[in-house]
Copies of this chain bind each other. A is one copy, B any other.
Amino acid sequence: MNKPTVHDIAKEAGVSLATVDRVLNARPGVREKTIAKVQGAVERLGYVRDTYAANLARQRLYHFTFVLPEGPSQFTDTLKAALKEATSSQIADRIVLKVVTVPLHDPHAIVRTLRSLNAARLDGVAIMVPETPQVRDAVARLKDAGVKVVALVSDLPNSARDYFIGINSIAAGRTAGLLMGRLIPREGEVLVVTNSMRSRDSLDRRLGFDQVISNDFPRLKALPSIESYDDAERMEKITREVIMSRPDIVGVYSMGAGNMPLLSALRKSERLAELVVISHELTPATRQALMDNEIAAVIAQNVGHLVRSAMRILRTLSDDLPIFEAQERIRIDIIVRENLP
């Protein structure tokens, strides 16, 4: 009735413990026929390796590296904080964690960093950078070297990454669109702002947003995206100008980072109270704006879950174990003033 051990497998298969070990750990020097015998026993008894005992025996350490954007961003700051917090918990057990940051605007530097990772002493990498052909190459190279790769927050769909941990941007955009439509009962224009439409996330969010607006809420007109290019002043200036010149604007959808200059511009315009503002990611700025009723809703992903999931998945991949999908699915959180975590 108890969980079968390697000894049970040996008995069941009629071979020695050493042979079972050779088969289970894919060591050479075992005939096909014998391998089949052992695997048969494994399946018949429903053997699952006790990972903890195995890790104890082999003194296993998991070497993981997180590649995150550098520079000031409230979102990546909260992500890093969550990572640090997780490090001191049970989840980080046997994990040796390294965090490196890369400048997002410099594709060469990103690739240089990815290439500089020592694949030989690395079990897994979690990457949060925009997808480029060079990044795809670097991912393939890591994979070839036996390193597990997961994309974090921003997917690398055309790369060889093993897993994506984050929310579907199209669905996130659709959620924003639905909320915007439901929260604005009249006609009008919706301002859409982002850092840069060259990022895939922004494109997808915009896509999802437009799908729902045009299909379910034709009374609303989503304006062309305004891009800030990470320039706070530019963002504030342009936003103010557009808001001033277009009295029909009834809502604002902020797809990316940079909510602080946006809010600052909206405040100065003195039209904030009558606008429905929806933004992404829960940061100190958006949290405060929610509490002040300046932002109606925030579309977010739980960063704590994000980093814990990344660690668990990298570990699971490293052990060639099946992933428990239900636990790892990152949900699209809708946060309003009253359900702030």
Q: Which of A's residues lie within 8 Å of B, judged by CB? A: 50-53, 55-56, 82, 85, 89-91, 93, 171-172, 174-175, 177-179, 182-183, 185, 208, 212, 296, 302, 304, 308, 321, 324, 326-327, 329, 331-339, 341
Contacts and interface: CB of A to CB of B under 8 A. Distances in A.
A321 B50 CA distance: 22
Contact of A302 (B85, B331, B338): B331
Contact of A175 (B85, B177, B338): B338
Copies in the assembly, this chain = 2
Going nearest first, the 7 A-B pairs with the smallest beta carbon separation are A52-B52, A332-B339, A334-B334, A175-B338, A174-B338, A185-B185, A175-B339
B339 A331 contact: yes
A323 to B, nearest CB: 10
25 contacts: A50-B56, A51-B90, A52-B53, A52-B55, A52-B93, A53-B56, A91-B324, A171-B339, A175-B336, A175-B338, A178-B336, A178-B337, A178-B338, A179-B336, A182-B296, A183-B183, A208-B338, A212-B338, A329-B341, A331-B341, A332-B338, A332-B339, A333-B333, A334-B334, A334-B336
A333 B53 CA distance: 38
A326 B87 CA distance: 12
A85 B324 CA distance: 9
A93 B54 CA distance: 15
Contacts of A179: 336
A273 to B, nearest CB: 13
A53 to B, nearest CB: 6
A308 B305 CA distance: 13
Given A52-B55, A172-B339, A185-B185, 16 more contacts: A51-B90, A52-B93, A89-B324, A90-B321, A171-B338, A175-B338, A175-B339, A178-B338, A212-B338, A302-B331, A304-B327, A331-B339, A332-B338, A333-B333, A333-B334, A334-B335
A2 to B, nearest CB: 9
Contacts of A50: 56
Given A52-B56, A56-B53, A182-B183, A333 B331 contact: yes
Contacts of A296: 182
A175 to B, nearest CB: 4
A185 B184 CA distance: 9
Given A183-B183, A332-B339, A90 B175 contact: no
Nearest to A302: B331
